[in-house]
Amino acid sequence: MNQEESRIKQLRQQLQAANEAYYLHDNPIMEDEVYDRLYRELQGLEEKYPELITPDSPTQRIGGEVAEGFASVKHQIPLYSLENAFNEEEFRQWAARHQGEAVEYVCELKIDGNALALTYEDGVLVRGVTRGDGETGEEITNNVRTIPSIPLRLKLNNPPARVEVRGEAFLPRQTFEKINQTRQANGESVFANPRNATSGTLRQFDPKVVAERKLDFFAYTLYVVEENSPWQPETQDYSLQVLEEMGFKVNPHRKVCQSLEEVEEFFREWEEKRNTLAYETDGVVVKINSYALQKRLGFTQKFPRWAIALKFPAEEAPS
């Protein structure tokens, strides 16, 4: 490897580490002007040696020309919807349907955004698709690549051949407010809420517009497609740990619960605290932790039997 190649490799590692610290851990390790200088040096070297450009280089996030439209793509693994429970009684009824097993639950915050399906092959992001109707979505890979908290390459040395990740793209409240202020200043219509603003942004034809909006992403489902991979998780809680190791942002406010009472305690805690968060959450997703038990319970026509969304009461509109 000649001197320029090793400099390119070093710059990519430094910029990737800086991105991760800033976007995943909200803990910058580099001043902006240093980042910009290193980024420009990498761009210069890649312009000089275009054959050395790789799809996961930090300079390749805002690629693609303006799309004409989005292709329809069938999800390899459908994105399921969740059954809702609006009160404790409905939650208890759901739990009674599979009671009798010593069940461990995982409670996660339900993020009020737009679900995305990501596909990685040999550790590299190859496709990003909207939820659509759960079976078929829109292929928006160039837009997904601009989301800083979505890794272009998994941080694993020996990644599985194929990995499917699901999660929620969202806009933190402050980012949402800024977008609406800009739109208002430009005489454009404003978005009603962060979820609509996220949806409108994901379906922009110009990736540069998407990049400016700085969408964020929490991963919450991992499918390691090959059976005997060392990364094959057996529980939801372990899946979330593997997703973090892979370089995804995973919501930290989650809890493994050994009883229904613990689940209800987690729900009440976050019903109280949710307005302290930088993003909107409309409930708690409760899943049975064991994948073996999830598999045994399976799905109804519409929902997994092993998960439920406990919805927070709708907030009073500000008077």
Ligand X SMILES: NC(=O)c1cc2c(N)ncc(C(N)=O)c2s1
209 to 248: interface string for ligand X, x by CB under 6 A:
-----------x----------------------------
Q: Nearer to ligand X by C-beta: 14 or 239?
A: 239
Tokens 């601009």 correspond to what residue? 146
What distance in Å separates the CA atoms of residue 214 and residue 262, rounded to the nearest whole number? Answer: 35
Q: What does R_g of the chain's alpha carbons equal in angstroms?
A: 21
- Shortest Å distance, C-beta 221 to ligand X: 7
Q: Is 81 in the site for ligand X (CB under 6 A)?
A: yes
214 is catalytic: no
- Shortest Å distance, C-beta 258 to ligand X: 19
- Shortest Å distance, C-beta 189 to ligand X: 25
Q: Is 303 in the site for ligand X (CB under 6 A)?
A: no
What distance in Å separates the CA atoms of residue 96 and residue 310, rounded to the nearest whole number? Answer: 15
Q: Which residues, in sequence order, are bridge partners of residue 137?
A: 73
Do residues 171 and 213 make contact, with C-beta atoms less than 8 angstroms apart? yes
Q: Per residue, what are the HEC states of 198-243?
A: HHHHHCCCCHHHHHHHCCEEEEEEEEECCCCCCCCCCEHHHHHHHH
* Annotated catalytic residue, options 48, 74, 110, 155: 110
Residue 216 CB partners (closer than 8 Å, separation 6+): 23, 147, 148, 149, 169, 170, 171, 172, 175, 249, 279
Q: Nearer to ligand X by C-beta: 57 or 289?
A: 289
Q: Looking at residues 155 to 194 of the shown chain, list those that interact with ligand X (rule: CB under 6 A).
A: 168
Stretch that binds ligand X, among 64-72, 76-84, 204-212, 224-232 (CB under 6 A): 76-84
- Shortest Å distance, C-beta 27 to ligand X: 23
- The HSE-up count of residue 103 (CA atoms within 13 Å, CB side) is 26
* Type and span of the H or E element at 274: none
What distance in Å separates the CA atoms of residue 64 and residue 70, rounded to the nearest whole number? Answer: 13
Q: How far is CA 90 from CA 84, 145, 265, 297, in A?
A: 8, 39, 16, 18
When binding is defined by CB under 6 A, the residue of 82, 202, 263, 308 that contacts ligand X is 82
- Shortest Å distance, C-beta 134 to ligand X: 8
When binding is defined by CB under 6 A, the residue of 108, 237, 264, 280 that contacts ligand X is 108
How many residues of this chain bind ligand X (CB under 6 A)?
A: 10
Quick one: CA torsion of 174, 179, 181, 182, rounded to 10 degrees?
Answer: 140
- Shortest Å distance, C-beta 278 to ligand X: 15
Stretch that binds ligand X, among 1-9, 79-87, 203-211, 263-271 (CB under 6 A): 79-87
Q: Nearer to ligand X by C-beta: 8 or 82?
A: 82
Q: Looking at residues 272 to 301 of the shown chain, list those that interact with ligand X (rule: CB under 6 A).
A: 285
CB atoms within 10 A of CB 292: 10
When binding is defined by CB under 6 A, the residue of 111, 116, 125, 197 that contacts ligand X is 111
User: Which active-site residues does the annotation give?
Assistant: 110
Q: Which residues bind ligand X (CB under 6 A)?
A: 80-82, 108, 110-111, 115, 168, 220, 285
